[in-house]
C-alpha cells in the first residue's frame, strides 16, 4: 500500500511553493508525522510531514522546483518493513605488536617516508614537485549536510561547505547560507592566485532566482505605491524621558518579568494611544457587497512589527496590543523575532495586521519614508537616536543637547486626512516624551 505526499492547502492567497530541501531520500524509512521536506512559499517556509510511516520512494520533484498546491511530491510504501537496527559488532582482536626495529632499520624507514613518492600516472612532474594535489570540489564536501541547490552554488562560487554554518533543519546548509557566505567573503579559499601571484579584480557576475518571499515583498511594495495615495509626514521626539525611565527600572523589570525592557514596548503603547485618538489610521479600504469602496474600521489594534530575517523582511503581528502589558509586548516581540529568524513563523501570525511599525534605526537609518503594508492605511518608521542641539523646553531660547529620534508616518491619503495624520504623529511624540502617562494610562 502506498500513500501520496502532497502539497497541502496553505492559505487562500498561496497557490504554489518551491521545494527548499528534501530531508529524506528515496529508500529512507520515515515515521508518521516526521518531516520529509521543507517547502518555501511567498510568505513562510513550512515543513511537510509524512502522512504515514513507510519507506520513501522516488521524489516526484527536485529541490528548487516550483510545485502547486495539491501536487504529488512523493510516495510512501507502507507495506515495506521497518529496518531493524543491527547490533554493534564485537571489536576485532588487536594485531600483535610489532617488535621495535633496530636503530639502523628505523633510520632507513624514516628516510624512506621522507622521500617524496613518484608522481601518479597522468600528473605532471611539476605538480608533484610542488607537493600539490587536486582539491576536491565543493560538491564532494558536506554532502549529507547541504541541499543540492546549495552544493551547486558552492561549486559555482568556490565555497567550502564545511566552513558554512547551516540554518536549515538539523544544521543543513541551504542556498541562503551559501549566498551569505559569498557576500561576506568567507569562501574558504586563499587570497593568492596561481603560484602565489595575486589575482586581478574579479568581474564575475551571478544571477539567482528571487525567492518566493522576496517576490511577494516586491509585488506588495509596488502594489502599495500603485494603488494607495501614499504620503509621508515627519516629526521628531526627545528620547530623554524614556531613556531615563528605562535606565532606572530595567534591572527590576528584567528580574520581575524575565524579559528586558526595550524601546519597542513604549512605541507600541504610543501607537495604540494614537490609533485610539485617530481611528482612521487603524482602518482600511475594502469593497462592500456591491463592489463599491468601503471603509473597514477595527476596534482592536493588531500591530505588525517589521522583522529582518535571513530570507527577507517579514511582518509578524502582535495581536490585541491594546490589552497587553509592557512585559507582554516585549515577550511577544522577542518571540516573533526569534521565530522569524529561524523560519518558524506561521502564515496566521503574519496575516491581518491593522498597523505596522518598522525600526530602521537599528541599522543606522537617520530618516526614511516607509512604504505601506497593504491593505493597511498607516506605517510608522522609527530611526536612529542621535544627540542634537534643540531648544530647551524648560528654558525657551536656550539650546541643549538631547537624544532625538526622527519619526515618519506614511499613510493612505484616501482614508486619512493630513490633519489626522499629523495629530496621530504628535500623539506618539507626546507619549514618548512623557512616558509616565503611558504607564498610568492617562
SS3 for the chain, per residue? CEEEEECCCCECCECEEEEEEECCCCCCEECCCCEEEEEECCCCEEEEECCCCEEECCCCCCCCCEEECCCEEEEEECCCCCCCCCCCCCCCCCCCCCCCCCHHHHHHHHHHHHCCCCCCCCCCHHHHHHCCCCCCCHHHCCHHHECHHHHHHHHHHCCCHHHCCCCCHHHCECHHHHHHHHHHCCCCCCCCCHHHCCCCCCCCCCCCCCCHHHHHHHHHHHHHHHHCCEEEEEEEEECHHHHHHHHHHHHHHHHHHCCCCCCHHHHHHHHHHHHHHCHHHHCEEEECCCCCEEEECCCCCCEEECEEECCEEECCEECCHHHCCHHHHHHHHHHHHHHHHCCCCCCHHHCCCCEEEEEHHHHCCCCCCCCCCCCECEEEEECCEEEEEEECCCCCCCEEEEEEEEEEEEEECCCCCHHHHHHHHHHHHHHHHCHHHHHHCC
Does residue 201 or residue 200 have the better pLDDT? 201
Residue 89 has a pLDDT of: 54
Q: What is the pLDDT of residues 344-379, one digit of tens each?
A: 888 788 888 999 999 999 899 999 999 999 899 999
pLDDT band at 403 (very low <50, low <70, confident <90, very high): very high
Query: Is 383 considered catalytic here?
Result: no
Q: Is the pLDDT of residue 99 over 80?
A: no
Average predicted confidence (pLDDT) for the chain: 80
Of the candidates 33, 110, 413, 434, the residue annotated as catalytic is: 413
pLDDT band at 90 (very low <50, low <70, confident <90, very high): low
State mean pLDDT over 228-251. 95
Residue 334 has a pLDDT of: 92
Q: Is the pLDDT of residue 21 over 70?
A: yes
Residue 193 has a pLDDT of: 41
Q: Is the pLDDT of residue 113 over 80?
A: no
Residue 238 has a pLDDT of: 96
Q: Is the pLDDT of residue 29 over 80?
A: yes
- Whole-prediction pTM value? 0.62
Query: Is 59 considered catalytic here?
Result: no
Of the candidates 33, 110, 140, 417, the residue annotated as catalytic is: 417
Amino acid at each position: 500500500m502506498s500513500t501520496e505526499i502532497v502539497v497541502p492547502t496553505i492559505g487562500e492567497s498561496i497557490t504554489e511553493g518551491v521545494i527548499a530541501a528534501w530531508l529524506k531520500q528515496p529508500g529512507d524509512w520515515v515515521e508518521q508525522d516526521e518531516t520529509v521536506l521543507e517547502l518555501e512559499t511567498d510568505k513562510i517556509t513550512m515543513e511537510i510531514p509524512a502522512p504515514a510511516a513507510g519507506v520513501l520512494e522516488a521524489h516526484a520533484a527536485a529541490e528548487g522546483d516550483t510545485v502547486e498546491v495539491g501536487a504529488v511530491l512523493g510516495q510512501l510504501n507502507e507495506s515495506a518493513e521497518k529496518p531493524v537496527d543491527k547490533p554493534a559488532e564485537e571489536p576485532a582482536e588487536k594485531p600483535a605488536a610489532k617488535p621495535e626495529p633496530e636503530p639502523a632499520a628505523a633510520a632507513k624507514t624514516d628516510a624512506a617516508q621522507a622521500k617524496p613518492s613518484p608522481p601518479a600516472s597522468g600528473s605532471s612532474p611539476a605538480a608533484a614537485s610542488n607537493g600539490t594535489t587536486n582539491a576536491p570540489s565543493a560538491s564532494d564536501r558536506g554532502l549529507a549536510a547541504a541541499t543540492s541547490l546549495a552544493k551547486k552554488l558552492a561549486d559555482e562560487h568556490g565555497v567550502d561547505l564545511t566552513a558554512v554554518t547551516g540554518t536549515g533543519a538539523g544544521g543543513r546548509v541551504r542556498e541562503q547560507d551559501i549566498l551569505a557566505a559569498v557576500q561576506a567573503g568567507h569562501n574558504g579559499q586563499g587570497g593568492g592566485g596561481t603560484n602565489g601571484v595575486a589575482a586581478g579584480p574579479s568581474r564575475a557576475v551571478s544571477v539567482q532566482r528571487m525567492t518566493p518571499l522576496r517576490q511577494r515583498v516586491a509585488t506588495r511594495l509596488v502594489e502599495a505605491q500603485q494603488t494607495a495615495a501614499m504620503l509621508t509626514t515627519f516629526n521628531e521626539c526627545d528620547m530623554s524621558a524614556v531613556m531615563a525611565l528605562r535606565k532606572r527600572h530595567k534591572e527590576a523589570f528584567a528580574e520581575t518579568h524575565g524579559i528586558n525592557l526595550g524601546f519597542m514596548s513604549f512605541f507600541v503603547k504610543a501607537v495604540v494611544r494614537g490609533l485610539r485618538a485617530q481611528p482612521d489610521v487603524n482602518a482600511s479600504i475594502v469593497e462592500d457587497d456591491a463592489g463599491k469602496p468601503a471603509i473597514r474600521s477595527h476596534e482592536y489594534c493588531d500591530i505588525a512589527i517589521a522583522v529582518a530575517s535571513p530570507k527577507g523582511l517579514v511582518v509578524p503581528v502582535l495581536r490585541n496590543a491594546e490589552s497587553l502589558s509592557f512585559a507582554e509586548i516585549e515577550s511577544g516581540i522577542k518571540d516573533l523575532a526569534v521565530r522569524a529568524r529561524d523560519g518558524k513563523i506561521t502564515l496566521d501570525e503574519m496575516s491581518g495586521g491593522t498597523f505596522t511599525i518598522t525600526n530602521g534605526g537599528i541599522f543606522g537609518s537617520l530618516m526614511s519614508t516607509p512604504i505601506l503594508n497593504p491593505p493597511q492605511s498607516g506605517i510608522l518608521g522609527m530611526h536612529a537616536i542621535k544627540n542634537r542641539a534643540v531648544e530647551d523646553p524648560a528654558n525657551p531660547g536656550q539650546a541643549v543637547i538631547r537624544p532625538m529620534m526622527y519619526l515618519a508616518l506614511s499613510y493612505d491619503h484616501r482614508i486619512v486626512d493630513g490633519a489626522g495624520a499629523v495629530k496621530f504623529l504628535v500623539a506618539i511624540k507626546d507619549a514618548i516624551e512623557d512616558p509616565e502617562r503611558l504607564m498610568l494610562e492617562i
